[in-house]
Structure 1
């Protein structure tokens, strides 16, 4: 029993470290915050941007552990879900575009001429995973 709890603690901690490291790498490597301050011409407010990102990550992590229920109208929930999906999709596309992941992956695997199949596998995998999550895990 104690070994199971320790194993779960280790797996949870390792998962948190992996996600946190990926988030920091995303912000650092791509230079999201400095680029944002350049575009908005607010370089002197960079500390507020950083504080907002850290506060959002901490608040989001804290809220994910709570069993909160928001009693929102169905149309508003659909709209928020649509915007969340668009944001996540565009973020993934931008990250892929910036890092040129797909051409490198296709070259390493040796499927340069069949990159459309690689793209379709990613798209269908994302759609299938999202549908599985919503159909199987979301309570009605």
Structure 2
């Protein structure tokens, strides 16, 4: 019994290290967070970004391991959905910028001078999509 528990703890810890290392490498190699700071002109808040990523990853990992149901008022559910949408939208926008998807798309479509509008449309689309998902598909009653 003790050996099985030790193996499970060791395996979970090793898997967490592997996934965490991959996540950090992903963010570091692609330069997602620095590009996101550059796009939003918030370079002076680098420590806030660092702690946000750390606390978000730890909190998200901890919540995903729990079997809890949060009974929150509709206001908080809408706020959580909105913040999730903002996060996904900004992450998607930063990833596409880093990978030069948007400049290539803008050049082919012929809207090079409106790339900021294209970027904001993607981010706002993600926000609206996430909010719609939370309000329509998540059973909060």
TM-score (norm 2): 0.50
TM-score (norm 1): 0.50
